[in-house]
A and B are shown apart, each in its own frame.
Chain A
Amino acid sequence: MSTTEHDHSTTTRLSLNLDGTDRTADVDPRSLLVEALRDDFGVTAPKIGCATGDCGACTSRVDGQITKTCLRLAVSAEGSQIVTTQGLAEDGELDVVQQAFWDEQAFQCGFCLSGMIFAASELLAENPDPSEQDIRWAISGNLCRCTGYEAIVAAVRTAAARQREIPQRG
């Protein structure tokens, strides 16, 4: 524990593997994980929408599980491996879900993207050929206030079709 010079709060050191890099920051122990990611680690892809677990805008992958990071205390993530949507591209290439969202213009303001993209990726990992109903259920934990969801559903369908065409490694 160390004490910061501003106000009377105490910070605690938090170490994570964040988007493939080992990182350490001093965080207020009262922080939600999404607040620490944004304010202390500078990774702003996860957004703060509702802070009640409804909207999904703060979604990141934490130790393999897609997670609404507003429902996690930052201090509970010590030693965790965290992937945000900023860590999905490889060698500057968007992943298949991101590219489909781009091509289908499946976002307007972009606030819901983290939740939608991770929910879509999770679905496609389990079900390479989802029905429209499967897609709508899979994204149901995420709220989009711009698109009416049609373009998002189209993007997930496109991503699924493209993923089925990619020869699986191994």
Chain B
Amino acid sequence: MIAQPFVYHAPTSVAEAIEILAENPGTSRVIGGGTWVVPECNRDESRPAALVDLRRAGLSGIDVVDGVVCVGATATYSAVMSSPDVARHLPLLAAMASGITGGRQIQSQGTVGGSVVAARPSSDAPAAVAALDATLVVAGPDGERRVTGTGMFADASTSCLREGEILTRLEFTVRPAARWGYYKLKRSASSWPIATAACVLGEQPRLVLGGVSATPVHVDLGSVLAGRPLTPDTIEEAVRRAADSVSTPWEDELAPATYRSAVAGPVARRALEMAAHQEES
């Protein structure tokens, strides 16, 4: 039982959700799938006066529109895993979704958008979404705005969302098929990730580390991988850059900062090697 009384809202449109948030400035929480906000309230770590549940707001779809894969803010991990569009254009996103902790129940309840907004350092989604060069589409009282790259995450557990805003969808431009890799280090099946690495080696190769810092770390690859084959030498250079890019390592009950620094390189290597072993498509 949640100790503090609250008013529950289940808006049926984005406009209605924005209106409710405007009426409860600073005292509301938004629920995507509920797997984080609900237990947080139940532990009395958050005491919102209003809970705004987006489950009926029509944001759960996954579509391809004009060469852009649009993943609705409340699309669940299961929806991502079973979407033929995601399988075809964003296999890294499907791989991330299929490996999350918590079993089929959490895959059916948790949302990629919710995980991005929660922006927890040890979650799977932020780094994968960053590696896929997502655009976050955010709606608020002043209309819609779009956020990309390092702008998506401000700090640990702090996304780019401002007061009164909600995430409506994630957009991914369809690009030619490219090699990709994803590796996650965790202690046990039921553990949160300690470190993740996601890479997409298209025209502009991207390698992003998760869990090792407050926000996803975009590894500066320079010209190491652009237009060049993955060889032991280029992988070695990319791994060195990955290890060097963790300037302020994250620390929590799962692992100390020194450990996270130490595993950044090896985790990057495993993601790159996964990409190297893929067939040319």
Chain A residues at the B interface, C-beta cutoff of 8 Å? 9, 28-32, 35, 51-54, 56, 59, 65-68, 70-73, 75-76, 115, 118-119, 122-123, 136-143
CB distance from A60 to the nearest CB of B (A): 10
Residues in chain B near residue A136, CB distance under 8 A: 189
Which residues of B are found within 8 Å of A119, using beta-carbon distances?
103-105
Residues of B within 8 A of A35 (CB): 1
Q: Find out whether the CB atom of B38 lies under 8 angstroms from the CB atom of A71.
A: yes
Known: A29-B8, A32-B42, A76-B53. A67 touches B103 (CB 8 A): no
Q: How many residue pairs at the A-B interface have CB separations less than 8 Å?
A: 100
Asked whether, in the complex, the Cβ of A52 is within 8 Å of the Cβ of B39, the reply is yes
A55 (CB) vs chain B CBs: closest residue: B190
In the complex, are the beta carbons of A31 and B39 less than 8 A apart?
A: no
Within the complex, the shortest CB–CB distance from A39 to chain B, in Å, comes to: 9
Q: Cβ of A65: which chain B residues have Cβ within 8 Å of it?
A: 78, 108-109
Complex interface residues of chain B between 1 and 32 (CB less than 8 A to chain A): 1-6, 8, 10, 31
Closest CB in chain A relative to B272 CB, distance in Å: 25
Looking at A28, A35, A56, A68, the one whose CB has the most chain B CB atoms below 10 A away is A68
Q: How far is the CA of A30 from the CA of B189 in the complex (A)?
A: 31
Whether B149 is near chain A, meaning CB under 8 Å from some CB there, is no
> Closest chain A residue to B76 by CB distance?
A65
Residues of B within 8 A of A (CB): 1-6, 8, 10, 31, 33-35, 38-39, 42-43, 51, 53, 55, 78, 101-106, 108-109, 189-190
- What is the distance, in angstroms, from A4's C-beta to the closest C-beta of chain B? 14
Given A56-B105, A119-B105, verify A73-B8 contact (CB < 8 Å).
yes
Contacts of B104 in A (CB 8 A): 66, 119, 122-123, 138, 141
8 contacts between A and B (CB under 8 A): A52-B42, A53-B106, A67-B108, A70-B39, A73-B53, A76-B8, A118-B105, A140-B101
Q: How many angstroms from the CA of A54 to the CA of B55 in the assembled complex?
A: 22
Q: Which residue of B lies closest to A31 (CB)?
A: B1
Most central of B4, B43, B101, B103 by chain A CB within 10 Å? B103
Bound: A57/B245 CA distance, A: 41
- Select B109's contact among A54, A68, A139, A140, beta carbons within 8 Å: A68
The docked-state distance in angstroms from the alpha carbon of A35 to that of B108 is: 20
Are A71 and B103 closer than 8 Å at their CB atoms?
no
> Is A30 a contact partner of B105 (Cβ separation < 8 A)?
no
Query: Chain B residues near A142 (CB, 8 Å)?
Result: 103
B102 adjacent to A53 (CB under 8 Å): yes
In Å, the complex CA distance between A31 and B78 comes to 26
A71, B35: Cβ atoms closer than 8 Å: yes
Known contacts: A65-B109, A76-B55, A143-B190. The answer to whether A30 contacts B2 by CB under 8 A is yes
Roughly how many angstroms separate A51 CA and B78 CA in the complex, as a whole number? 22
* CA–CA, A70 and B190, complex, Å: 17
With A28-B1, A76-B55 already in contact, the answer to whether A51 and B42 are too (CB < 8 A) is yes
A60 to B142, CA, bound (A): 40
Question: Of B2, B5, B6, B34, which contacts A72 at CB under 8 A?
Answer: B34
Q: Give Cα distance in the complex from A70 to B36, angstroms.
A: 11
Q: Are B190 and A71 in contact (CB under 8 A)?
A: no
Task: Tell me the complex Cα distance, A115–B190, Å.
Answer: 14
Q: Sorted from nearest, which 6 A-B pairs have the closest CB atoms?
A: A141-B103, A65-B108, A140-B189, A30-B2, A68-B105, A52-B39
